[in-house]
Chain A
């Protein structure tokens, strides 16, 4: 059966994920070393050790994401995170930075290494380099590939692949987006936050809900209408058309979330080892519902049964879903 890798932003979410049938849970420390460095979220050292013990006692694994890029001169924070994840009993660490991979391979040879989606390794040459140089055992593929491309990659590599099947989409080649840095000075790659809450302001203006990121107005939605996350890539902007008239639209991407439920059998055939659910910033209610639905889907795929209808639409951003790049209907 394909492994179901589920998000946990808090110990309560970790317990909810395990209870709902996660084979593995991924989580991070409460600092800049992980790409979901949100206020009130994540695990301190003690909570991490307890979380690992809780998951292991119930047959689930814990993967610790240390997937931001260390700042030169400040590597100590990231090195400590790797050592502490190992000491807590983590089954693997999910890393993105080449220097940190080298450090982990050298100093913690017994620790299993997964390559984060943030490393954006999207072809066999890149993946094989990480496998040969650092002993990486699994690669999380960026969300820019079709199912056929994933199958072709799997034929040319010896490591496991993990792909996203549900949750918020980051449209850029992962780890290469500068939109958040441009607007706020903080980025997912360096600080673990895209469009950080500290720079987001909502206000009701003339009966509409406005969202600003830094100095940019990124949405104006009528009261009660669906609203997306305040990320620049999902902003709705106006720009003059050829005749100088205002045209309004989502310039980068429509606010829709990934739901690849019905592609699970195809991904299994393509040789994918693990399926990942996005959403460490979400509540334990989200975790429990999504994990339960996907555990049923993975089991159905394993028995060659048809995929259950997805009932998760209301949990998705913009309350609309897409199969993203997998089926090439990318905008």
Chain B
């Protein structure tokens, strides 16, 4: 399985070359665009979250170089520098693999929490509401991105399937009845 290191770097001729910090603003714009797209395709998310949609969720993906600030009612998903901790109501911490597996219903959020793979702090109601709303929405990340990408969609789907096989990360929703362990599709 591929590991994404917390200090982003690439291996070249056996030497680790540090990557420059990603340009955060364009990335935030891209993420927010995706978020608006997802929320318009799944209006039940904001409805289910009710007042908790106004909460600010700081998502610490432990093996990504930067945290993400999720503000559902503002339809905003912002990439923030690792050291600057923006104001937030709740913080969720876990690996990229754990977050993706939960999003695509391969792992149960409570089970990840029981086993210490997900940690939360701050306003627990908001986290529970977000988890339930996303679980009901049956999001498929690859489909969401592909449907946004227009003519590049089919190529993106193929790339996602390849990436899924290479990394073992869950990048799309398994249809009911499919084996969650089987990444050979």
Question: Interface on A for B, CB 8 Å cutoff?
Answer: 9-13, 15-16, 19-20, 38-41, 196-198, 200-204, 209, 221, 223-229, 281-286, 288-289, 314-319
Contacts and interface: CB of A to CB of B under 8 A. Distances in A.
A197 B135 contact: no
B176 A15 contact: yes
Interface string B71-109: 000000000000000000000000000000010011111
A315 B108 contact: yes
30 contacts: A10-B135, A11-B136, A12-B137, A38-B128, A39-B49, A39-B50, A39-B126, A40-B128, A40-B131, A41-B132, A196-B125, A197-B124, A201-B121, A201-B124, A202-B119, A202-B120, A203-B121, A225-B116, A281-B110, A283-B108, A284-B138, A285-B102, A285-B105, A285-B106, A285-B107, A285-B108, A288-B176, A314-B115, A317-B110, A319-B111
A228 B114 contact: yes
B128 A39 contact: yes
Smallest CB-CB A-B distances: 6 pairs: A40-B132, A40-B129, A39-B129, A10-B136, A286-B108, A285-B105
Nearest to B105: A285
Most A CB atoms within 10 A — which of B111, B119, B121, B126? B111
B36 interface: no
Interface of B: 48-50, 52, 102, 105-111, 113-116, 119-122, 124-133, 135-138, 176-177, 180
Contacts of B108: 282-283, 285-286, 289, 315
Which secondary structure dominates chain A's binding surface?
A: mixed
Contacts of B176: 15-16, 19-20, 288
A282 B110 CA distance: 7
A283 B151 CA distance: 34
Nearest to B45: A40
User: Do most interface residues of chain B lie in helix, strand or loop, or is the interface mixed?
Assistant: helix
Contacts of B50: 39-40
A209 B114 contact: no
Contact of B132 (A9, A202, A285): A9
A204 B121 contact: yes
A12 B116 contact: no
Contact of A40 (B49, B105, B115): B49
A198 B132 contact: no
Given A11-B136, A225-B116, A288-B176, A202 B105 contact: no
B136 A197 contact: no
A39 B114 contact: no
A11 B45 CA distance: 13
A225 B117 CA distance: 9
Given A9-B132, A319-B114, 10 more contacts: A20-B176, A39-B126, A39-B129, A40-B50, A197-B124, A204-B121, A226-B114, A283-B105, A284-B105, A286-B111
Contacts of B124: 197-198, 200-202
B92 to A, nearest CB: 10
Given A12-B137, A204-B121, A38 B116 contact: no
A202 B137 CA distance: 26
Contacts of B135: 10, 12-13, 283-285
Given A198-B124, A283-B105, A284-B105, A224 B116 contact: yes
B78 to A, nearest CB: 22
B138 A226 contact: no
A15 B115 CA distance: 27
Contact of B130 (A9, A40, A223): A40
A315 B49 contact: no
Nearest to B176: A19
Contacts of B48: 10, 40
A221 B114 CA distance: 11
A314 B111 contact: yes
Contacts of B105: 16, 283-285, 288
Contacts of A15: 176
A298 B114 CA distance: 27
A67 to B, nearest CB: 19
A209 B122 CA distance: 12
A223 B116 CA distance: 7
A286 B114 contact: no
Nearest to A41: B132
